[in-house]
Amino acid sequence: MTKQQLRKIFKQKRTALSPEIQAVWNERIFSHLKSLDWTTCQYCHIYLPIEKNHEPNTLNLINWLQHRFPNMHLVVSRSHLDDLSMSHYLLDETVRLLPNRWGIPEPVDGIEVKEELIDVVLVPMLVCDQSGNRVGYGKGFYDRFLQKCRPDILKIALSFFEPIAQVDDTNIYDIPVDVCISPSEIYYFK
């Protein structure tokens, strides 16, 4: 299936999940995330979930990382609609977050972080295939961002759904993820 077809199907599937199922699945994803080795990560880029889109929740992970690894720098993004790029800021006590036009909480000020400093990126998505090719919302923000990162950056996607066999219309601009964490399993692609 194409990205457009998959986007439609998995948006509907995610919206149909009950709050109770989402809570259980978010806890399972969080448990898998805690099992990863975070000791070498100095800069971790984390997306802030869009609640109305029922995205896997990262807030428990943020709190856990801040408590467990106080020297780790957590980073969040601000989207720029004019060129579909993102800028990145430390998530600390000084940053102010406001929702953008899509309901994504974004920093309006703060300490900017360059892409080459980031060690790990948690990538939002709807679904991915068994090669790590992901289906996002279709604007390409994360693909543009990941192209600017170091080649050794670890790209972790979170999904309520298991990887599908194949995304039919991937292209040279698509950046696959290295890991997908679902409620049931951790999938490694490289």
CATH number at residue 161: 3.40.50.10420
Q: Domain total for the chain? A: 1
pLDDT tens-place string over residues 135-151: 998 889 999 999 999 99
Residue 147 confidence (pLDDT): 95
Alpha carbons 19 and 81: distance in angstroms, whole number:
31
pLDDT of residue 102: 76
Q: CA-CA distance, 69 to 64, in Å (whole number)?
A: 8
Beta-carbon count within 10 A of 153 CB: 18
Residue 152 neighbours by CB under 8 Å, 6+ apart: none
Residue 91: domain span: 3-188
Q: What is the pLDDT of residue 50?
A: 86
Is the model more confident about 74 or about 51?
74
Say whether pLDDT at 66 is over 80.
yes
Q: Report, as an integer, the average pLDDT of 99-128.
A: 92
In 68-148, DSSP assigns E strands to: 73-80, 85-90, 97-99, 105-107, 120-124, 127-128, 134-135
Does residue 35 surpass a pLDDT of 80?
A: yes
**Which of left, alpha, beta for 54 (phi over 0: left; psi -120 to 50: alpha)?**
left
Euclidean distance between CA atoms 81 and 93, whole angstroms: 26
pLDDT tens figures, 120-140: 999 999 999 999 999 998 889
Other residues' Cβ atoms within 10 Å of the Cβ of residue 37 = 6
pLDDT of amino acid 51: 84
Q: Look up tokens 């989207």; give the residue.
A: 79
Residue 103 pLDDT greater than 80, yes or no: no
Query: Across residues 47-60, what is the average pLDDT?
Result: 92
Does 75 score more than 80 pLDDT?
yes
